[in-house]
Amino acid sequence: MIKSRWILACFLLLLIMGSLFAVSEDDLNRIFYLNSGLRELSESLENNSAANYRSDKFVIVIGSVASLFPQKNSAYLITEDDLIDPIGFVKSFKNPSSAFTKKVAEQFSSRLKTSMEQSDVNNQTITALLRDLLRDFSRIMRREIFYQPGLEKQVPLSEELLQLIAKTTDGDEMGFINRLIFEAVFPKNIKKFEISLNLQDGEWLDFDKVKTYQLDVLFDGVECFKIFNRREPTKASEEYVPLNSKAMIIASLIKPIQKEDGLVWQAKGYYIRRIP
């Protein structure tokens, strides 16, 4: 009985989401990928005819992308502030032990290679070595994607990321993909790149006594590829979500935060889709 009710709820969710948003099968699969709290979400959708929904764990909201931060199109580049252990990070390229670090180190400038060979990596040398290393990264990360077949067997690379790797050729987009690869290879040393998106539209989000027209959503990982600021391609992908476009977001609420114009919900974003 419970199983049949769940199947019925799933079917109703498919019908409602399909009619409201004209989502594809891939979109629906990704919604169901959020496998925690989906029963509550489906029941909420089943009993609600509004355009925005909330369950105990997730919200689905539609609005206009009012702002993105950071705006700089090279913000994905690795900086000193992104590193948890700068000395350990530099050492991994001074004495590369994996196919990945060896491939990256091959692209270093002659100056950096010489500095690496002639210097010990310690508290006295780290400032200069790290400066030169990150300068080289800013150059080589845009030139090619540092992926080698089989890397996904050594580090967690999602199927979505592998698909992006296969089809990405633009400089900044390759740089962004490389950032995600570096985060996977050095999960304990490189902080995740995050984009804060401000969504605004209509009278929605009246949750827990916080009434607002805005939602601040934090995205990281592959979903950031859809929204990170770069030169808009001549033929934009259907997944690209630029400023001022309309979008549907699936997120979980984190906490209300105080802004100049009042309380605004901050949320963790899981999925974003542009709505024509």
Q: At what angle do helices 25-33 and 2-21 cross, to 10 degrees?
A: 130
What's the pLDDT tens digit per position in 65-83?
999 898 777 889 999 999 9
State residue 77's pLDDT score: 92
Greater confidence (275 vs 267) lies with: 267
Domain regions of the chain by residue span = 2-72+194-274, 80-185
What's the pLDDT tens digit per position in 197-206?
998 865 555 5
State residue 219's pLDDT score: 94
CA 146 to chain centre: 18
Amino acid at 128: A
Structure tokens, 190: 């490189």
What's the pLDDT tens digit per position in 124-176?
889 999 999 999 999 999 888 999 888 988 898 888 899 989 888 788 889 99
- Residue 59: C-alpha distances to residues 9, 193, 215, 252 (Å): 17, 23, 11, 6
Strand locations in the chain (E) = 53-54, 59-69, 194-200, 206-207, 210-211, 214-220, 246-259, 262-274
Amino acid at 261: D
224 pLDDT above the threshold of 50: yes
Q: Which residues contact 269 (CB under 8 A, 6 or more apart)?
A: 197, 217, 218, 219, 223, 249, 250, 251
Structure tokens, 51: 């355009």
